[in-house]
C-alpha cells in the first residue's frame, strides 16, 4: 500500500458514512478511516458485497467499528430509507459511489440517466435528507474527477437524455456533483461545516493491494501492471486525497484536493484547481434548483 503522508489522526468518537464503501476507492477510505478509529457506516447497494468488505476491513483492523447501511443511489426510495436508517449524528459523509461508462439508454429506477442519477442526484438527495443529522462541524466530501472538464455543464438540460461519448457525459455528472459541493460550501460559509471536493487521480485495481473477495486480480496482471506505477496508482493511494479532505486540519470550506503528481494522476494530496464553470455561483444555484425539482427533495434551509 502507498505510504500515507498524513499524520495519524485519532478519529475515535467520529462517525463517517461512505457511499460505495464495498469496492475500490470507497473501500480504501473505509479501511483507512477505520484504522484511525472512526466508526464507519458503509452505504452499499449489495448486502453480500458489503459483508465481504466488512470482513476485509476486520481482517486488517480487528476492532473496527462498522455498520452497513443499505443504499442504492439509483433509487430515491432507497436513498430515503437509508437516510432514515442512519439515525445517528454524522461527522462526515463521503459521496464516493459512482458509475462510469454507462450507455445513454441506462436509467435509474426513477427514470434518470444512470450517471447523473447516481453520481449527482442520488447524492444530492442523500445529503439533503441527512443534513439534520450532521454535527455542527461536519464535513461533506464529494469525489470529483479530472473528467469534470470534459463537457459543458448545463443545469437546464441535466435531466434530459444525452447523445455522444459516454466519458463526456460521465464528466458532466461529476461536474454536477462538484458544482453542488461548491454551492453547499457557499451555503455553509457562516458555519463551522465544510463542503469539500477531492479527486482520486487515476487509479486501477491491478496496482491495489489484494483484499479477500475484492476486485481479484491475477498475479500475472499485477506483474504486468507494475511499470504503470510511475504514472498511475492503486485505489489505496487514490483514497488519500479523499481521506485527507475528511480528516485534515488544513481543509477549508469550498476546497478542492487531488494528487500532487504529473497530470494529478497520483501522489500526495494537495489543493488543486477546479473549472470556473463548477465554481460559478450562478451555475451552482441553477443546478441546485434543478436537483430539488427532479428529486422532489428540498434541501433544508
Ligand X SMILES: NC(=O)c1ccc[n+]([C@@H]2O[C@H](COP(=O)([O-])OP(=O)(O)OC[C@H]3O[C@@H](n4cnc5c(N)ncnc54)[C@H](OP(=O)(O)O)[C@@H]3O)[C@@H](O)[C@H]2O)c1
Which residues of this protein are in contact with ligand X, per CB under 6 A? 19-20, 22-26, 45-46, 49, 71-74, 96-100, 118, 143, 145, 199-200, 202-203, 235
Beta strand spans in the chain (E): 15-19, 39-44, 65-70, 90-95, 134-143, 194-198, 256-259, 269-271
CA–CA distance, 215 with 24 (Å, rounded to integer): 8
Whether 269 and 239 have beta carbons less than 8 Å apart is answered as no
Please state the closest distance from residue 209 (CB atom) to ligand X, in A: 14
Whether 176 and 160 have beta carbons less than 8 Å apart is answered as no
Reference 186, options 241, 249, 140, 121; nearest CA is 140
CA–CA distance, 279 with 20 (Å, rounded to integer): 25
Whether 254 and 186 have beta carbons less than 8 Å apart is answered as yes
Whether 241 and 250 have beta carbons less than 8 Å apart is answered as no
Please state the closest distance from residue 278 (CB atom) to ligand X, in A: 14
Reference 94, options 287, 257, 232; nearest CA is 257
Nearer of residues 107 and 136 to ligand X, judged by Cβ: 107
Please state the closest distance from residue 140 (CB atom) to ligand X, in A: 14
Please state the closest distance from residue 282 (CB atom) to ligand X, in A: 25
Nearer of residues 98 and 267 to ligand X, judged by Cβ: 98
173: CB partners within 8 A, 6+ apart: 113, 115, 116, 118, 119, 120
Nearer of residues 100 and 104 to ligand X, judged by Cβ: 100
Give catalytic residue positions.
170
Please state the closest distance from residue 55 (CB atom) to ligand X, in A: 15
Given the C-alpha cell 452499499, which residue does it identify?
44
Nearer of residues 135 and 150 to ligand X, judged by Cβ: 150
Nearer of residues 22 and 283 to ligand X, judged by Cβ: 22
Whether 299 and 288 have beta carbons less than 8 Å apart is answered as yes
Whether 19 and 71 have beta carbons less than 8 Å apart is answered as yes
Please state the closest distance from residue 30 (CB atom) to ligand X, in A: 10
Nearer of residues 143 and 195 to ligand X, judged by Cβ: 143
Given the C-alpha cell 428529486, which residue does it identify?
295
Amino acid at each position: 500500500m502507498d505510504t500515507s503522508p498524513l499524520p495519524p489522526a485519532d478519529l475515535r468518537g467520529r462517525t463517517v458514512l461512505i457511499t460505495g464503501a464495498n469496492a475500490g476507492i470507497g473501500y480504501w477510505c473505509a479501511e483507512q478511516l477505520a484504522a484511525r478509529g472512526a466508526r464507519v457506516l458503509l452505504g452499499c447497494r449489495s448486502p453480500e458485497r458489503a459483508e465481504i468488505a466488512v470482513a476485509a476491513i476486520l481482517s486488517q483492523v480487528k476492532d473496527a467499528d462498522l455498520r452497513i447501511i443499505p443504499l442504492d443511489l439509483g433509487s430515491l426510495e432507497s436513498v430515503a430509507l437509508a437516510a432514515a436508517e442512519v439515525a445517528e449524528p454524522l461527522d462526515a459523509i463521503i459521496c464516493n459511489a459512482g458509475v462510469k461508462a454507462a450507455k445513454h439508454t441506462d436509467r435509474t429506477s426513477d427514470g434518470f440517466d444512470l450517471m447523473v442519477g447516481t453520481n449527482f442526484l442520488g447524492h444530492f438527495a442523500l445529503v439533503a435528507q441527512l443534513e439534520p443529522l450532521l454535527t455542527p462541524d461536519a464535513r461533506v466530501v464529494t469525489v470529483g474527477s479530472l473528467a469534470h472538464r470534459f463537457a459543458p455543464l448545463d443545469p437546464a438540460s441535466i435531466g434530459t437524455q444525452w447523445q455522444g461519448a459516454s466519458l463526456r457525459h460521465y464528466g458532466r455528472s461529476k461536474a454536477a456533483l462538484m458544482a453542488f459541493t461548491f454551492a453547499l460550501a457557499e451555503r455553509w460559509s457562516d458555519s463551522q461545516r465544510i463542503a469539500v471536493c477531492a479527486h482520486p487521480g487515476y487509479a486501477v485495481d491491478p496496482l491495489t493491494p489484494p483484499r479477500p473477495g475484492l476486485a481479484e486480480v491475477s498475479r500475472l496482471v499485477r506483474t504486468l501492471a507494475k511499470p504503470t506505477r510511475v504514472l498511475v496508482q492503486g485505489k489505496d493511494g487514490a483514497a488519500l486525497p479523499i481521506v485527507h479532505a475528511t480528516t485534515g486540519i488544513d481543509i477549508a470550506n469550498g476546497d478542492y484536493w487531488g494528487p500532487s503528481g504529473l497530470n494529478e494522476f497520483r501522489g500526495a494530496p494537495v489543493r488543486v484547481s477546479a473549472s470556473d464553470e463548477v465554481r460559478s455561483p450562478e451555475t451552482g444555484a441553477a443546478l441546485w434548483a434543478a436537483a430539488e425539482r427532479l428529486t422532489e427533495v428540498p434541501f433544508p434551509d
